[in-house]
Amino acid sequence: MNYTMLKDVKTMLGFSASIIGSIIAILLAARDLDGWVVFSILSLILLALSVTRASRLYNQKST
């Protein structure tokens, strides 16, 4: 991973929130609650947005 992405607060916050959302989804699924679906979908969307932002930052730096 590049230092540009590591010092970008929004990208790292997005990755961290995605991981925390996935953990919450796993805990809810283990307790057989229906909210795990919402957390897993939101975590995947947040992860995709964070990867897109990190890719855009990396491409801006290399050009």
Please identify which residue in the block is written with the tokens 């964070």: 50
pLDDT score, position 1 = 55
pLDDT score, position 63 = 67
Residue 3: pLDDT band with limits 50, 70, 90? confident
Q: CA–CA separation, 11 vs 34, rounded Å?
A: 29
Question: From residue 31, how far is each of 27, 40, 44 by CA, in Å?
Answer: 6, 15, 21
Residue 26: pLDDT band with limits 50, 70, 90? very high
Helices 36-62 and 9-30 cross at an angle (nearest 10°) of 160
Q: CA–CA separation, 13 vs 11, rounded Å?
A: 5
Residue 5: pLDDT band with limits 50, 70, 90? confident
Residue 36: pLDDT band with limits 50, 70, 90? very high
Could you count the other beta carbons within 10 Å of the beta carbon of residue 39?
19
Sequence spans of domains, the chain: 3-62
